[in-house]
Amino acid sequence: MSEPQPYTRDESEAERIDRNFGEQLQELRIAQAGVQILFAFLLTIPFQQRFTTLSDIQRTIYVITLLSVALSTLVFMAPVAMHRMLFREGLKDFVVRQTDTLIGTGMFFLVIGIVGGVVLVLDVLLSHSTAFWIGGAIALLAAVLWVLLPMSQRHRQRQRRHRADAPT
């Protein structure tokens, strides 16, 4: 079985930067929709009658979850604000590099918000231990899908390139 050919594009550096920024904005659109829904939900919880019956640990989980989603929202919106402030300044390469970091940071805070929200709801509905076990499983799944799977593919791609570049 032959090795798959690496995916390449015939584009200038400027075209690559423009394409990368467009792809990053699409990623942000997808993530931001979910973050906004979660944030809106979390903002309404304290106004519910049962909120006063939460235990101290449940309130702590709520506060951490709310702050994580708020940070995720701000971080996901930062590339748009940065682009607006630096528009036509010839700094799109800077914006693309920073956006890459910001997306990773936003995803980190988002997973904390997702896990925290699930743990809070399950803690109210079921039990502390069940909520934390399921929250841990969700965090593990996020780590596998969002970090380990892409990193394993990156590692495989680098090995393929190394073998292709090695003298035979």
Say whether pLDDT at 53 is over 70.
Answer: yes
Each residue's pLDDT tens digit, 128-147: 999 999 999 999 999 999 88
Provide the pLDDT for residue 2.
Answer: 56
Interval 10-37 mean pLDDT? 77
Q: Which residue has the tokens 């997702």?
A: 114
Residue 6 has pLDDT above 80, yes or no: no
The predicted structure's pLDDT at residue 133? 96
Q: Note the pLDDT of residue 138.
A: 96
Q: What is the pLDDT of residues 79-129, one digit of tens each?
A: 888 888 878 777 778 878 888 889 889 989 999 999 999 999 999 899 899
SS3 sequence, the chain? CCCCCCCCCCCCHHHHHHHHHHHHHHHHHHHHHHHHHHHHHHHHHHHCHHHHHCCHHHHHHHHHHHHHHHHHHHHHHHHHHHHHHHCCCCCHHHHHHHHHHHHHHHHHHHHHHHHHHHHHHHHHHCCHHHHHHHHHHHHHHHHHHHHHHHHHHHHHHHHHHHHHHCCC
Rounded percentage of the chain residues whose pLDDT exceeds 70: 94
